[in-house]
Amino acid sequence: MGVVIDTGLAAPAAANDDAAREKAAAAPRVERTASRALPRLLMAPAVATLLLWMLVPLVMTIYFSFIRYNLMQPEAIGFIGLGNYEFFVTDPSFATAIMNTLLLIGSVIAITVVGGVALALLIDEPFPGRGIVRVLLISPFFVMPTVNALLWKHMMMNPIYGVLADLWRFFGAEPVDFMTDWPLGSVIVMVAWQWLPFATLIFMTALQSMNREELEAARMDGAHYLQQLRYLVLPHLGRSIAVVIMIEMIFLMSVFAEIFTTTGGGPGDASTNVAFLIFKQALLNFDAGVASAGALFAVLLANIAAVFLIRLIGKNLD
Amino acid sequence: MALAARTGAAWAVTLLLFFPLGWLVLTAFKTELQAIAVPPLFVFTPTLANFAEVQQRSDYLLYAQNSLVTSVASTLLGLAIAAPAAYSMAFFRTRRTRDILMWMLSTKMMPAVGALVPIYVLAQTAGLLDTRLALIVIFTLSNLPIMVWMLYSQFKDIPPEILEAARMDGATLWQEFRQVLLPLAMGGLAATGLLCLVLSWNEAFWSLNLTSAKAGTLAALIASYSSPEGLFWAKLSAASLMAIAPIVVFGWFSQKQLVQGLTFGAVK
């Protein structure tokens, strides 16, 4: 299902290529007229399947959202207008879920970008064992979300047997019951742990193309470390920060398994995000109508995020 | 910063971040009693019993096979659909190319859960619930936008003059593709395929909601270990280790290419 957005992301990046290619296209190309259809033919499967993937569920969702549709009673169908929307929006869980979604996305992006830049700077220059460090650091990125979640929930965060509980006791503190007391915080930790390596590696790659002579010159001129960071390193990283935010946003909007396997959205709605709320309506309450109304709100939310993203990325790729 | 300080700091942070995973590996070789010892045990006599029991209790191999088949098949299918599209966009640009690319990426921004009800109903109607085919199709579709993007940004870096030259020399489209484009695009194709493989292997939303005993993947199998009452951490760890080891090791070897590919060509 889709998000309607303006173009802009690719524009500045491709501007140079564009000019070159348009020049090339202006040169006579005899064989091109005959094979105009070929490019379209090559693109057709991808465009067609994605169009179906977007439109079919969207149309069905819009239809379901206006009818009474319980998966357990498929025969009791009837038009109920905006009833499902009303139910979903007036559900007190709705506001909480939106807040939690924003908190989750915001915190994870903040942690991974700041932590990722710091880590990338730390391992930018050679030191003994850098290769191994790189391999160890990237590992959490390849761990599937369900393993990640259970590993943290049980072996790290269990209030009695968990490693963290032992650490708390070591410092003479009362161990925390993470899943009950800090449910959303715990989910944020798990997701951030997964995405920090990704951000670090992207920033590391970007740092490698940094102009060392420029840095050296700045150092000669007496710029201290923070100044170098502020005026040389961070501007250089701008583009990769934009890329990290874009990719993480795409994946973080639909965080699900970490919540499903640990807190189940609870206690109450304390760790329910929009994705999980819709899931609860659909497969736990079997109310496909309300879930569909909720799904359309998710589409709206995705639209808002997309517009925001395009602004951000468009500016940064200039 | 002095080298020693830098080395120490880097290793300390790395070990801290890697610790949960290292702990998982350790726990997989403990007995259930050792796994919940207070304080946590670092030194013990390792046992392999957990691995055998995981296979016996939950038929690990069936789930592993499902994971392998669905992720490999969806990767190949995805490449077959995405590569021609990306080729077309990179070498036959029109005014609309950019819009199409943006639209494709925007379909990925929609949380999967938004399509849950329709897809569930469609799969049910078609008798595809709990089948590998359903997962293959869905994994392919949901990875397709990212694949087209990655391939497009890689193809864009190939100078079109090379292809022109081959065409001038009378190469057919197939020869042009096979002998000129493919060798040049191999790195990009590999990176894209690798990422798709990782994403599909780790995918949990659709496999949790659309499959159970027959077509369940490892990600779904692990979720079934989440029952709150049982403290079977050693077995949980063994199962988890078996579920992630193939893809983590795979990731170690391909991380450089993966990262290059994932930046959509925006970071050099």
- Measured between beta carbons, which residues in chain B are less than 8 angstroms from residue A42? 84-85, 87-88
- A256: its two tokens: 């699900």
Cα→Cα distances B20→A143, A148, A152, A155, B245, Å: 11, 9, 7, 8, 14
For residue range A59-93, list pLDDT tens digits in order. Answer: 888 888 888 877 777 776 778 878 888 888 888 88
On the question of pLDDT at A114 being above 70, the answer is yes
Find the closest chain B residue to A53 by CA distance. B141
Q: Say which of A137, A166, A298 has its CB closest to residue B114.
A: A298
At residue A103, the pLDDT reads 94
- Measured between beta carbons, which residues in chain B are less than 8 angstroms from residue A199? none
For residue range B32-61, list pLDDT tens digits in order. Answer: 878 887 777 788 888 888 888 888 888 888
Interface of B with A in 118-147 (CB under 8 A): 118-122, 141-142, 144-145
* Residues B90, B10: Cα–Cα separation, whole Å: 41
- B21: its two tokens: 């995973």
Segment (H or E) for A78: strand A73-79
CA distance B14 to chain A (A): 6
* Residues A28, A159: Cα–Cα separation, whole Å: 73
| A108 CB-near residues (< 8 Å, 6+ apart) | A188, A191, A192, A195, A248, A252
Q: Say which of A45, A50, A152 has its CB closest to residue B20.
A: A152
For residue range A127-153, list pLDDT tens digits in order. Answer: 888 889 988 998 999 999 989 998 998
On the question of pLDDT at B103 being above 60, the answer is yes
Q: Is the separation of the CB atoms in B49 and A161 below 8 Å?
A: no
SS3 state of residue B221: helix
* Residues B93, B116: Cα–Cα separation, whole Å: 35
Arithmetic mean of pLDDT, A95-102: 90
**Is B47 within 8 Å of chain A by CB?**
no
- Beta carbons of A54 and B112 less than 8 Å apart: no
* Residues B198, A253: Cα–Cα separation, whole Å: 19
At residue B262, the pLDDT reads 67
SS3 state of residue A43: helix
Q: Say which of B117, B142, B145 has its CB closest to residue A292.
A: B117
At residue B254, the pLDDT reads 83
- Beta carbons of B240 and A147 less than 8 Å apart: yes
Complex ipTM value: 0.86
For residue range A164-182, list pLDDT tens digits in order. Answer: 988 888 888 888 888 888 9
Q: Is the separation of the CB atoms in A179 and A186 below 8 Å?
A: yes
Going by pLDDT thresholds of 50, 70 and 90, the confidence category of residue A189 is very high
Q: Specify the higher pLDDT residue, A302 or B244.
A: B244
* Residues B217, A102: Cα–Cα separation, whole Å: 30
At residue B230, the pLDDT reads 59
Residue B195: what are its φ and ψ, rounded to 5°? -65, -40
- A47: its two tokens: 């465009």
Computed over every residue of chain A, the mean pLDDT equals 81
For residue range B120-165, list pLDDT tens digits in order. Answer: 889 989 998 999 999 999 999 999 988 998 888 888 888 888 888 8
For residue range A204-243, list pLDDT tens digits in order. Answer: 888 888 878 888 888 888 878 888 888 888 888 888 888 8
CA distance A288 to chain B (A): 6
At residue A10, the pLDDT reads 41
For residue range B58-80, list pLDDT tens digits in order. Answer: 888 899 999 999 999 999 999 99
For residue range B204-241, list pLDDT tens digits in order. Answer: 889 988 888 888 899 888 888 776 555 688 888 998 99
| A93 CB-near residues (< 8 Å, 6+ apart) | A269, A272, A277
* Residues A142, B247: Cα–Cα separation, whole Å: 7
- B254: its two tokens: 């391909």
**Length of chain A in residues, anyone?**
318
* Residues A59, A62: Cα–Cα separation, whole Å: 5
Interface of B with A in 48-77 (CB under 8 A): none
